[in-house]
Amino acid sequence: MKHILAAIATLLAVGAVFMVYTSDTEVHKVDEIGKVIAKSQIKVNLGNDVVQTQQKIETASKEEIEKEQAKKKKELDDKLSALKSKAGNIAAFKVSPLYKQKCASCHGVNGEGIIGPKLLGKSANEVHQALSDFKSGKRKNYVMYGLLSKMDETQLKALADEIGTFEEKLKAYQAQ
């Protein structure tokens, strides 16, 4: 009987140790999650800035507020202009899904040329002739042949007509 009680007590002690171990593991997981959350939090200090801004608003006249807003608008416009000039003519005008799919990756979003040659300034007839030559194999370029081989004449013509209008569209965009 003593041996049975001792065995049961031992089993209960082992069970208790196992329970403590698993709860310890869960607490450790919760601590790790807390650390990850703490690392990902964004800290924003608004203290003095908010108080100073409120004081400025209370003491500023309408004219001063308008001047400040105009100054900030000008700064934003300058930043936007700088960004536009850095970005070049990215998406200056809309192009067809066919152009995006077949041409844009090499010739640029608006035909300005990337790895492929510049298409701006090419006439629709010039582009159509080049596309036909690539498709027929008269001009050797495996990339172009692969892109054009399954296109029909209507698609080639539509693509050539669209590319032929790029320079005109870009000039209209820049005039805005």
Secondary-structure class of domain 97-175 per CATH: mainly alpha
What's residue 60's pLDDT?
A: 55
Phi-psi group of 77: left, alpha or beta (phi > 0 → left; psi -120 to 50 → alpha; rest → beta): alpha
pLDDT tens, residue order, the chain (176 aa): 878 877 787 887 777 777 777 777 776 676 777 776 666 655 555 555 555 555 555 555 667 777 878 888 788 777 666 655 544 445 677 888 898 888 888 888 888 888 889 988 899 999 999 999 988 999 998 888 888 889 999 999 999 999 999 888 888 887 77
The C-alpha angle with vertex 163 and arms to 160 and 164, in degrees rounded to 5, equals 85
Nearest to 155 by CA among 118, 127, 175: 127
Angstrom CA distances, 85 to 60, 70, 145, 173, stand at 36, 22, 34, 14
What's residue 158's pLDDT?
A: 92
Structure tokens at 41: 């939090």
- Rounded CA gap, 136 and 55, in Å? 74
HSE on the CB side for 60, CA within 13 Å? 14
- Rounded CA gap, 65 and 104, in Å? 46
What's residue 85's pLDDT?
A: 52
What's residue 90's pLDDT?
A: 55
